Amino acid sequence: MKKIILTAVMALGFIAIASAQPRAIGARLGWGIEASYQHTVSSADFVEADLGLFVNSINAAAIYNFMIAQPSWTDRGEWGFYAGPGAALGLGVMNNYNAFSLSAAGQVGLEYTFWFPLQLSFDIRAQLGYGFNYGFYWGLGPALSVRYRF
């Protein structure tokens, strides 16, 4: 009985901590369009998960971003430089073949969070991976993101 109560208290504590962290949801616009979600995991570091549609594929990526600097360039709002590693999965058509890909990803960006719940960011994401029907590949793509922060 003590273990059940302890487990329930720990679960409620984790839920309370997770719900207290800032989050953002929106779109990431680059070579394609991606639905984007951010969840803050420490004081400023965050996880970004994106699901995107491109010309001939879909791509899912998860990046752990470290907040490198938060300069105070303006009186209102917050600036932030971030960078981090991650992974991506893709499914698409390449040279008339269905293709599945797995890649390592890295991202570097600059974001601005307004004093109202809007966040804009510009980032560059690099991917190096292996497509199971077409071999190794790499890509580098800039993107502009617009997110609602809550």
Q: What average pLDDT does the segment 47-76 reach?
A: 94
Using one digit for the tens of pLDDT, what is the confidence trace for 1-25? Answer: 666 666 666 666 555 554 456 899 9
- In the predicted model, is pLDDT for residue 95 greater than 60? yes
Residue 99's pLDDT band, with cuts at 50, 70 and 90, is: confident
For the chain, which domains are there? 22-149 (2.40.160.20)
Three-state SS letters, the chain: CHHHHHHHHHHHHHHHHHHHCCEEEEEEECCCEEEEEEEECCCCCEEEEEEEECCCEEEEEEEEEEEEECCCCCCCCEEEEEEEEEEEEEEEEECCEEEEEEEEEEEEEEEEECCCCEEEEEEEEEEEEEECCCEEEEEEEEEEEEEEEC
